Amino acid sequence: MNAKRLLVGIALLVAAQANARNSGSFDIYGYVAYDSTGSLYHVLTPAMSVCFFDPRFPPVSSCSYNYVDASGGTALSLVAPKDATAPATDDGGAAVSLAAPFELYGVSANSLVASSNGYLAAPADASSEDGGDFSQDCPLPAIADNAVATQARIYVYHADLDGGPNAGSMYASYFASCPRASESGLSEACTVVQWRNWALRGQSGALNMEAVLYHTSFEIALQYQTLDASAGTIATIGTQSNNATSGNAYNCGGPADRIFKSGFDS
Amino acid sequence: MIERENGAVVGNGSMRLKLWLLALMLCVPLARGAHAQVTNGNFETGNLNGWTLGGQNHAAAVKSTNFSTAVNPPNGGTWFAALSTGPGSLSNTTYNVDGNGVNDYDMTSMQQTVTFTATTSPAMLIFDWNFASSEEDQPDAYDDVFDVQTTVGATTTKVLTGSACKLDGGTGSPYPAAPCTPFATAVNWTITGAAPITNTSLRFGVGNWHHACVDIPGTVVGNNTVTITFRVADQNDNQYDSALLLDNVSVANTCDVASSTLAQVTNSSGSNVQVKNGGIQFTPVDNGPALSTDNTGTAFAFASTGNYTADNPNALQQVFVYDASYSRVTGLTIAAGGSVQGVSLSGTTVGALHGRYVAIAATLNSAASQQIYRWDRQTSTLTQVTNTTGCANKNPSISSDGNRIAWETTCSAYTGQGTTQKIVYSTFTTSWSAPVNFMSAGTPAATCQGFEPHLSRGDTGNFIALRSTCGGLSGAAPVATNGDIFRYAISPVGWKRMTTATSASTNNYSPSIDAATAGNAGRYIYFISDGDYSNVNANEPEIYRYDVSSSTLALVTQSPSNSGYVSVHQAADGTGALFSYEYVNGTDGDFEDGTGNFNGTSVTLKLGASMTASLGADVGVDAGNVPTVVFLSNDDLMSPSQNADGNTEVYSARTP
């Protein structure tokens, strides 16, 4: 490399890092994350959203918050993993049939498994994910350690969550015209998977959150209506590809080291 | 039978267990693999303590100042030994050291009896020598001599001999002439202040030192007692003096122990894994149980719970490849409850990849069946070879081109013979062929089994070495309960039988086939047996080599009582000579891993490392034809310490 090319390379690298620091985390595949606050430190607060943009649809540096009520959809019935001792609301998974395909890391899925522990998995079939992964992983990618695991995941708020303490419920709802407009500017359908009155073990406060999955731009909008007392400091928020070859942790055990602990992980 | 859960490093389970127990019983606090040192072999005591003098007893420890012109010892130190025929005439007692019938006078000998444990056979005698003679310009009949003898049992062997250099190139002794000193005319040096050899005359001074490393015939792997004797004598007169100078006398496994390079390749600790209901649990990393090297011994595939690629913080067992750096077999992500049973690296170098393909036997999760997969490192493509339920596929062996895999299976869908374990193979063209049960003719079909398949590596995997309890493959059913060793040829179809044990208790195991090419492909099969096929010992587990071209079985090793071999792996250099071994030394209960070179009649064994426990080994040979044994151990073998936490780590020992 000659000196001129080297300087250009350095300039691009600096620009890329500056961009990352001002915008969002990213991974090998190309997902880029932005939040609704524009905050440098990405401290989760109630009424906040985090968007993950598929690289095939150029991201915009914004992510609106517009919480969608999914309770009119399907109430999800959690199933405990085989041989589990904890109730399904603590460690369990519920199959979510999608009315339209959704692509995660470019791989199309017609169904998902929603976990009681705050993540969505995109298994080849429902039997390939039990939803029982309670251990928050950091950084991403990280091979999941539940007994029947699919690595392709959307970590909405992944930690040892439990629906029991607050009598929580989970819903999935498909909207042919999504009430929350995607950042793509397209009018598109979405599927919303929602955790209502959920709880994080050892933390006070109800957790109300949802994942909005868009079926055209494949944007992922994670919205947090209310938070438990930890405010995401012991949860993983991000995405991960199948076989854990790529991952993007927007939040990974606390926001302070997000850029270099998460953004460059993969 | 307890099988080693390792596709590449498969041994007879019951035999390994037996040796483990033996090792535990015999474990004594000896320095691992340490040879007893020759006492005062470097003479730095300033005397000859430890040595017994004979003849005229004219020897002394000397240093540079004992010479009229300074003579320094080789390789540092201060002192060395001098055996002299002088000064002048000492006695009229005659000897015949070199056997030429000419009287020798003023003979002095120096000897020591050493008891040591060898991990090679033969062990080596190493020393530095220098023969200075005043006879260089004298007639050939006055050809002063020296020799070095080793005595094992009742057998004494001259392992090095020499006589005075003659400036005219002549000789009087059958002993070969030692190198001359640099002086063409007399310089008249003397030894001073070193009774009883003071005033020894060295008319032509002292020349260069020479390094010797010679076999000690008759030594075996295990315990040995050897008497080492150095002699010097004045031939045909007792006037002109000569002196044999000696230093750094030792016994060793190899000529240059320091050149054996032991390295700890993996260096793992563990992960803090979150546990249910709060808290963190530290989970140590376990490298293993599967390990397989490429042909060069520089790369290896292995199973590990390590976080080598920063994506395995939960310490789940995955398949990794180390090839200058770590990569994970990302096409095969194994969940909690899953495991890796065996791996086999294809071996040949393709582009920058030392071993392009990895055959894997793995269970993806707690509910899955054990399947065979192939990972293509070049294209990052995983293909699934088997697809069965309720049965096991394990211990894969892959061909050098990566397009054939043989493995053990209990799947009736592949064997048509129930759940009885057979060996099958599959070949990849555009997809994997239906597995072929080439043992289907074995009898009794319902019960006879196949074990430990190893595909030949120099061709496309046309030959499979294996162990089987089946009759009807090549002769009658094996008498040995755990079977005999066979070789199957895929094309043209044919069976060869390596062993026909006559006792039900005979253990044959660890078959390993060569990587030769063309007509030599599949020619050599190494294996281990306690069957005493050569009628030489008391049924210790020894390494044998079968040569198919001559249908001859050769005993490669001979072990002392209560010692024996656990595994043998033939190197892929194509010669059929190089192999790695795991050995249990019954003296101290330790495992010893190393390499061997068998030329058909004798073997040279080179120790890589001794350890409390070896958990599997494989071998490669680099471009310099140097074998490297790669092995798993939870010992802390390096200095300074690198494995204080006792994790199972991958070690590599290059054995020039």
Is A148 in Cβ contact with B273 (below 8 Å)?
Answer: no
Adjacent-strand bridge partners of B54:
B109
Q: How far apart are CA B198 and CA B67, in angstroms?
A: 9
* 8 Å CB contact between B204 and B186: yes
Give the 3-state secondary structure of residue B220. coil
Which chain B residues have a beta carbon less than 8 Å from that of A148?
335, 365-367
CA distances from B450 to A130, B9, B453, B470, B548 (A): 37, 16, 8, 8, 20
Out of A160, A201, A244, name the one closest to residue B333 (CB): A244
Q: How many beta-carbon pairs under 8 angstroms link A with B? A: 70
Q: Which amino acid is at B149?
A: Q
Kindly state the tokens that stand for B332: 């095969």
Position with higher pLDDT, B180 vs B20? B180
**Residue A98's Cα: distance from chain center in Å?**
17
Residue B450, pLDDT score: 98
Give the lowest-confidence range in A153-167, B95-109, B244-258.
Answer: B244-258
A159/B contact by beta carbon, under 8 A: no
Residues 563-602 in B contacting A (C-alpha not used; CB under 8 Å): none
A137: nearest CA partner in chain B? B313
Please state, in angstroms and as integers, the Cα–Cα distance from residue A154 to each residue in A112, B152, B173, B409, B544, following that order. 10, 73, 88, 38, 57
Summary mean pLDDT of chain B: 89
Residue of B nearest to A241 (CA): B330
pLDDT at A22 over 60: no
Interface check for B421 against chain A (CB to CB < 8 A): the answer is no
Q: Is the pLDDT of residue B527 over 80?
A: yes
| Spatial separation of the C-alpha atoms in residues B513 and B507, rounded to whole Å | 18
Q: Give the model's pLDDT for residue A125.
A: 84
Residues B52, B222, B218: CA angle, nearest 5 degrees: 60
What average pLDDT does the segment B631-635 reach?
Answer: 96
In whole angstroms, give the CA distance from residue B568 to residue B605: 12
Q: Do A247 and B330 touch (CB under 8 A)?
A: no
The stretch B216-228 carries a mean pLDDT of 90
Q: Which residues from chain A sit within 8 angstroms of residue B312, using beta carbons?
A: 142-143
Sort residue A218 into left (φ over 0), alpha (ψ -120 to 50) or beta: left
User: Does B238 score more than 60 pLDDT?
Assistant: yes
Domain count, chain A: 1
Between A6 and B268, the higher pLDDT residue: B268
- Residue B279 is predicted with a pLDDT of 82
Map B30-46 to HEC letters.
CCCCCCCCCCCCCCCCC
pLDDT digits (tens, 9 = 90+) for B61-96: 999 999 999 888 876 678 999 999 999 998 899 999
Q: How confident is the model at residue A39 (pLDDT cuts 50, 70, 90)?
A: low
Question: Is B72 within 8 Å of B79 (Cβ atoms)?
Answer: no
Predicted confidence band of residue B259 (pLDDT cuts 50, 70, 90)? low
Contacts of B330 in chain A (CB under 8 A): 243-245
Which of A70-79, B118-127, B426-435, B589-598 is predicted least confidently? B118-127
pLDDT cut 90: percent of chain A above it: 67
DSSP at B471:
B
pLDDT at B255: 66
Over pLDDT 90: what percentage of chain B?
70
CA atoms within 13 A on the CB side of B188: 0
Residue B150 has pLDDT above 50, yes or no: yes
Contact B5, B289 (CB under 8 A): yes
Of A135, A243, A265, the CB nearest to B333: A243
Give the model's pLDDT for residue A265.
Answer: 28
pLDDT at B65: 93
B54 has pLDDT over 50: yes
pLDDT of residue B303: 97
pLDDT at A258 over 50: no
Task: Answer whether B273 sits within 8 Å of A147, measured CB to CB.
Answer: no
Tell if the CB–CB gap between B276 and A86 is shorter than 8 Å: yes
A 91-150 residues inside an 8 A Cβ radius of B: 91, 134-139, 141-149
Q: CB within 8 A of B208, min separation 6: which ones?
A: B130, B179, B182
Domain range for A251 = 3-263
Residue B34: pLDDT over 70: no
Quick check: B89 contacting A, CB < 8 Å?
Answer: no
Is the confidence at residue B121, as pLDDT, over 90? no
So what's the pLDDT on residue A2? 36
Q: Which residues of A touch B318 (CB under 8 A)?
A: 143
Interface of A with B in 213-242 (CB under 8 A): none
Contact between chains at A243 and B316 (C-beta distance less than 8 A): no
Inter-chain contact B311–A145, Cβ cutoff 8 Å?
Answer: no
3-state secondary structure A169-208: EEEEEEECCCCCCCCCCCCCCEEEEEEEEEEECCCCCCEE
Asked whether the beta carbons of residue B330 and residue A245 sit closer than 8 angstroms, the reply is yes
DSSP state string for B54-86: EET--EEEE-GGGBSS--PPTTS-S-EEEEES-
Q: Is B402 helix (H, G, I), strand (E, B) or coil?
A: coil
Residue among B254, B45, B235 at smallest CA distance from B131: B235
Task: Report the pLDDT averaged over residues A75-81.
Answer: 96
Instruction: Indicate whether B29 pLDDT > 60.
Output: no
Answer whether B274 sits within 8 Å of A160, measured CB to CB.
Answer: yes
Q: Is A245 part of the contact surface with chain B (CB cutoff 8 Å)?
A: yes
**Measured between alpha carbons, how far is A37 from A44 in angstroms, rounded to an integer?**
9
Retrieve residue B320's tokens.
């990794």
Instruction: Tally Cβ neighbours within 10 Å of residue A17.
Output: 14
What does the pLDDT read at residue A1?
33
Could you tell me if B366 lies within 8 Å of chain A, comparing CB atoms? yes
What is d(CA A184, CA A166) in angstroms, rounded to the nearest whole number?
36
Out of A134, A135, A148, name the one closest to residue B335 (CB). Answer: A148
Averaged pLDDT for residues B294-306: 95
Contact B33, B610 (CB under 8 A): yes
- 3-class secondary structure for A106-144? CEEEEEEEEECCCEEECCCCHHHCCCCCCCCCCCCCCCC
Q: List, in sequence order, the alpha helices (H) in B336-441.
A: 412-415
Nearest CA of chain B to the CA of A29: how many Å?
15
Q: Is residue A152 a contact partner of residue A242, using CB atoms and an 8 Å limit?
A: yes
Tokens of A144: 């999941």
For position B32, what pLDDT does the model report? 29
Mention every residue, 6+ apart, whose C-beta is less than 8 A from residue B75.
Answer: B128, B247, B248
Query: What are the structural domains of chain B?
Result: 13-31+273-601 (2.120.10.30), 52-252 (2.60.120.260)
**How far is Cα B524 from Cα B23, in angstroms, rounded to an integer?**
30
**For residues A116 and A92, what is the distance between their CA atoms, to the nearest angstrom?**
5
**Nearest-CB residue to B276 (from A134, A149, A243):** A134
Res B538: pLDDT: 65
Contacts of B333 in chain A (CB under 8 A): 143, 151, 243-244
The CA–CA distances, whole Å, from B269 to A125, A247, B69, B615, B653 equal: 36, 24, 58, 18, 22
Chain B neighbors of A141, CB-CB under 8 A: 311
**pLDDT for residue B3:** 28
What average pLDDT does the segment B332-357 reach?
A: 94
Rounded CA gap, A264 and B209, in Å? 61
Contact A138 B313 (CB under 8 A): yes
Question: What pLDDT does residue A42 have?
Answer: 67
Environment class of residue B144 by beta-carbon count within 10 Å: exposed (0-12), middle (13-18) or buried (19+)?
buried
CB–CB of B611/B635 below 8 Å?
yes
Higher pLDDT, B394 or A82: B394
Choice among B148-152, B230-234, B335-339, B377-381 with the minimum mean pLDDT: B335-339
